[in-house]
Structures are given as C-alpha cells and as structure tokens.
C-alpha cells in the first residue's frame, strides 16, 4: 500500500503522492516523470481540485515515453498540459491499441495541450492521436509535432486530430485553436490530418445557428506546417462535416488538398462554413497528379489570397471543385441518396454549395473566392459540379462568386486572441441567442483584418 506524505514548505503546499509526480496546490502546478500512469494521476489530482489554471508539466526536456493507454482529460475547469521544454520537446510514443492517444472533454473552459512530439508506434491508436470534445471556445493545441497519424485500423483512413463528434448536443462548439503545430505523415495510406464536427449534427441543430464569419466561434488552424511525400492516395488537410465551422490561415502545406463533406457523405449534416486564406501550398510529387486542391460538397466558404506553387504542370489536375452529391449522376447512388435530385424542382439541394444559416434555417449564403494565386491546370481553376447532374445546382453569380469579395466580411484578428492572451483564459464561454460569448480578454480583440 502506497502512503501519502504531505510536506508543508514556506513556498506552499508541496504534495508528494508516493508516486513520482509532485503537486503544489498553492501555485496549482504539478510535474510528472513522463509516464502514462504518473501523468494520468497528476491530471486527476488537478481536476479533483476544481480550480481554473492548473498547469501539468510532463517529463524531462528531450525525454521519450511510451504510453500504452488513453490519457483522458475530462475537465470542467481550465487546465494546461505541457511538455517539459518548448525548445526540446519530449516525445510521447502511443503504443497501445486504444481508440485515441489523448481524449479531451472540455466543458466551456479552456484545455491547453502544448510542447509535445507525438508519434504512433506499432498498433497504436486506431482512430485519433488526439481527440477533443467540448462546448464553446474550449481548447488550444499549440507547438506540437505529429510524426504519424492513428493506424486507421478498421477504418481505412488515419486521423491526426479529431475535433468534435457525432452527437445531439445543443450547444455551440467545440471551438478553439490549433497553432504552430507540425504534421509530417510518412505516406502509404489515406490521411485526414484534422477532422472536424460541430455539436448537434445528428438532428440538424448545428444548421440552425447564425453564421460566425471572422470570429473565434470556429476551429481555427493557423501558422502550422502540413507535409506528406506524395499526393496519392489523396488525403485531407482538414476534413469537415456535421455542421463544422473551420478557419485555415497562414499555413504551409505540401502535397495535401483541402476538402469538406456535404450532407450525404458526412455525418448527418453538411459542413456549414469554411474560411481558407493566406495559406501557401507546395506540390512537388512528380510521380502523381493530385486531382484537386480544394473540394467542397456543401455549405458556404470564403477562399482568398492563397498561393499554390508546383514543380510540374502535372502536379495538379484541377484547383477548386464544387459538388452536390445527391444531384451528381455519377455520385448519388454510391452516396446512398434515396433518389437523384433534379433541377430545377429540387433546387436548392439540402445544405448544398452556397447555402448557410439565414434566420435560423438554411438559406442562401454564397461561396466567395478572390485574390488567389492559382497555377494553370489541365482541368481549370473552377469545376462547378461533378457532372451534368449537379452542374445546374451551382451557378456562377448565384451560389458561388469566383472573383468577388464577400460583402461585409472581416477576418478574425491575427494571431488568434488565445495567442495574444497566452491561452490562459479561464472564463466560461456563455451562450446568448445561440452565439458563444467569450470572456472579456477575448472580447477585447474584435475581428479585424490581419
């Protein structure tokens, strides 16, 4: 039987647990030896205190640790879990056959994960490396390096980060920030580097909440690097579905397209909104032609000031493609649609391209594209429709504008307000009329042009 020793020091209450981790209940800090068991016990200790602001430091600078179980962080309070060094990050090898390496469930308070290198070894996590659920603006994943994805066992697709889940939760989110991370996946299978759902996707609630362009009410991915050595089999940078709201900006991307799902191919509901701007793509796989750079199958988007570089004309077949799955003659049966949508009687299709939320229900919110530096390609810059079945559903000047700025649009201030505040905000993100209201330290940074 292990004993618990309590040492009272002049600096505060230093709790020695009988294991390796030590916790200071006054400064709300804990330091672990890097092992899964020690870290999980330290997290449980901090959560048990029911206080905002605990910081758990894991391992030693440059250390390597094998975790065989899923670390669960189910915190109703703000907590930070960090590696022991920013410049010499410890490596966590996920070696256990579990669903995810780390599972975070944040209840409207900020959970921060930073300063780690994550790798998957052998039969490691089958679904996700890191999995996040929650309500409101509730997470930040920063300065982490992902050297591999999940194994994809039983799914055929491997994931890095999973944000959100299939659920009927009627609360906005989970929203948050992924910043200054590196994703280097080795090739050989289909990857979704990040996969995003919104809450309330099972019953369509997520498609009743107001659009939130240029706000923190989004999964924001900024200042990250994504790379894989090949462009085939084709992968997904940030796959989205189920009412997801995502913002991709200031990222460097090699050989990976961006794609989002529609109502039929995704989880019950289409992706709702996507902001994709000021990213740099490099395509240098001269053995394969990537069929598209950007694929959208539902919802609305703004796509502006992105730059695409390539080493060969054959790196890329087409740039932007837009489909309505249940109207496309070549897709509707394979997607399991009950029947093929027919134009004009079935226009607009449910949650199709150019649709968003207007007054609490689906309505016209066109896609806007402007100011991008796209290369010449075999199939052109814009494919409006997969084939003759869905092409009439996606009209230039009605559902999509390929050379126009979205009226009254203003992007979120850069960097994300959680960077400006150090990601330490412990406040509750309240909900008013369906909109998430962040604490005052975020309200102090309203959306402006970067």
200-246 confidence digits (pLDDT tens)? 999 999 999 999 999 999 999 999 999 988 888 888 999 999 999 99
What's the chain's average pLDDT?
Answer: 87
pLDDT band for position 247 (50/70/90)? very high
> Does position 429 have pLDDT exceeding 70, yes or no?
no
Q: Which residues of 265-300 are buried (b: 16+ CB within 10 A; e: fewer)?
A: bbbbbbbbbbbbbbbebbbebeeebbebbbbbbbbb
> Does position 304 have pLDDT exceeding 80, yes or no?
yes
pLDDT band for position 266 (50/70/90)? confident
Q: What are phi and psi of 184, to 5 degrees?
A: -125, 95
Q: Is 270 within 8 Å of 239 (Cβ atoms)?
A: no
Bigger pLDDT: 381 vs 97: 381
Arithmetic mean of pLDDT, 311-336: 93
The pLDDT value given to residue 293: 96
Task: For the chain, give the percent of residues with pLDDT over 90.
Answer: 73
> Does position 39 have pLDDT exceeding 80, yes or no?
yes
Count CB neighbours of 396 within 10 A: 12
Bigger pLDDT: 76 vs 301: 301
Arithmetic mean of pLDDT, 78-105: 93
Q: How many CA atoms, within 13 angstroms, populate the side-chain half-sphere of residue 187?
A: 10
User: Model confidence over 41-58: pLDDT tens digits?
Assistant: 999 999 999 999 999 999
Residue 81: strand, helix, or coil: strand
Q: Is 406 within 8 Å of 302 (Cβ atoms)?
A: yes
Instruction: List all residues 6 or more positions away from 70 whose beta carbon is below 8 Å from its beta carbon.
Output: 96, 98, 99, 100, 101, 102, 103, 125
Picking from 106, 31, 39, 30, the residue whose alpha carbon sits closest to that of residue 68 is: 39
The pLDDT value given to residue 3: 37
The pLDDT value given to residue 346: 98
> Does position 443 have pLDDT exceeding 50, yes or no?
no
pLDDT band for position 281 (50/70/90)? very high
> Does position 446 have pLDDT exceeding 70, yes or no?
no
Between β-strands 355-358 and 361-364, what pairing exists: parallel, antiparallel or unpaired? antiparallel
Arithmetic mean of pLDDT, 2-8: 33
> Does position 9 have pLDDT exceeding 80, yes or no?
no
> Does position 432 have pLDDT exceeding 50, yes or no?
no
> Does position 16 have pLDDT exceeding 60, yes or no?
no
Picking from 142, 206, 219, 211, the residue whose alpha carbon sits closest to that of residue 180 is: 142
Picking from 200, 73, 58, 68, the residue whose alpha carbon sits closest to that of residue 130 is: 73
pLDDT band for position 448 (50/70/90)? very low
Its pTM stands at 0.90
> Does position 437 have pLDDT exceeding 60, yes or no?
no
Picking from 434, 335, 332, 438, the residue whose alpha carbon sits closest to that of residue 393 is: 332
User: Exposed, middle or buried by CB within 10 Å (0-12, 13-18, 19+), for 7?
Assistant: exposed
> Does position 422 have pLDDT exceeding 60, yes or no?
no
> Does position 376 have pLDDT exceeding 50, yes or no?
yes
The pLDDT value given to residue 444: 31
Arithmetic mean of pLDDT, 184-196: 83
- Interatomic CA distance for residues 400 and 419, integer angstroms: 33
> Does position 416 have pLDDT exceeding 60, yes or no?
yes
- Interatomic CA distance for residues 350 and 148, integer angstroms: 36
pLDDT band for position 12 (50/70/90)? very low
Q: What DSSP string runs through 93-118?
A: EE-S--SEEEEEEEESS-EEEES-EE
- Interatomic CA distance for residues 138 and 114, integer angstroms: 14
Residue 174: asked if its preceding bond is cis (omega within 30°), the reply is yes
- Interatomic CA distance for residues 367 and 275, integer angstroms: 10
Between β-strands 91-94 and 22-24, what pairing exists: parallel, antiparallel or unpaired? unpaired
Q: Distance from CA of residue 239 to its chain's centroid?
A: 8
Q: Which helix (H) or strand (E) holds 27?
A: none
pLDDT band for position 122 (50/70/90)? confident
The residue with tokens 């959560």 is 47
Arithmetic mean of pLDDT, 249-268: 91
Q: Is 439 within 8 Å of 418 (Cβ atoms)?
A: no
Q: Is 265 within 8 Å of 293 (Cβ atoms)?
A: no
């Amino acid at each position: 039987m292990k004993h618990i020793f309590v040492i009272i020091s002049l600096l505060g209450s230093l709790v020695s647990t009988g294991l390796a981790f030590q916790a200071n209940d006054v400064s709300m800090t804990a330091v672990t030896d890097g092992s899964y068991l020690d870290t999980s016990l330290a997290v449980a200790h901090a959560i048990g205190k029911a206080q905002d602001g605990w910081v758990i430091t894991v391992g030693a600078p440059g250390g390597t640790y094998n975790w065989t179980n899923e670390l669960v962080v189910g915190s109703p309070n703000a907590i930070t879990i960090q590696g022991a060094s920013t410049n010499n990050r410890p490596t966590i090898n996920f070696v256990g056959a579990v669903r995810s390496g780390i599972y975070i469930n944040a209840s409207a308070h900020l959970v921060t994960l930073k300063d780690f290198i994550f790798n998957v070894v052998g039969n490691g996590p089958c679904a996700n490396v890191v999995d996040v659920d929650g309500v409101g603006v509730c997470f930040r994943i920063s300065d982490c390096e992902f050297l591999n994805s999940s194994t994809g066992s039983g799914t055929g697709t491997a994931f890095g980060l999973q944000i959100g889940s299939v659920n009927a939760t009627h609360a906005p989110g989970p929203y948050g920030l992924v910043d200054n991370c590196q994703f280097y996946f080795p090739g050989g299978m289909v990857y979704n580097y990040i996969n995003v759902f919104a809450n309330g996707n099972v019953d369509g609630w997520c498609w009743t909440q107001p659009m939130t362009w240029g706000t923190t009410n989004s999964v924001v991915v900024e200042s990250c690097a994504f790379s894989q050595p090949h462009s085939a089999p084709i992968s997904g940078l940030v796959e989205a579905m189920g009412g997801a709201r995502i913002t991709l900006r200031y990222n460097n991307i090699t050989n990976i397209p961006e794609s989002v799902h529609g109502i039929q191919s995704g989880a019950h509901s289409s992706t709702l909104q996507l902001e994709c701007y000021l990213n740099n793509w490099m395509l240098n796989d001269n053995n394969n032609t990537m069929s598209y750079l950007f694929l959208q199958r539902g919802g609305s988007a703004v796509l502006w000031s992105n730059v695409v570089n390539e080493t060969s004309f054959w790196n890329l077949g087409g740039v932007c493609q837009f489909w309505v799955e249940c109207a496309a003659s070549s897709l509707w049966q394979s997607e399991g649609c009950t029947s093929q949508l027919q134009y004009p009687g079935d226009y607009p299709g449910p949650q199709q391209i150019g649709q968003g939320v207007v007054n609490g229900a689906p309505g016209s919110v066109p896609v806007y594209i402007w100011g991008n530096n796209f290369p010449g390609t075999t199939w052109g810059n814009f494919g409006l429709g997969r084939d003759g079945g869905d092409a009439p559903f996606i009209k230039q000047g009605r559902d999509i504008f390929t050379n126009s700025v979205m009226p009254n649009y203003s992007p979120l201030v850069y960097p994300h307000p959680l960077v400006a505040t150090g990601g330490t905000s412990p406040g509750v993100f309240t909900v008013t009329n369906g909109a998430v209201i962040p604490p005052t330290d975020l309200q102090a940074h309203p959306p402006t042009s970067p």
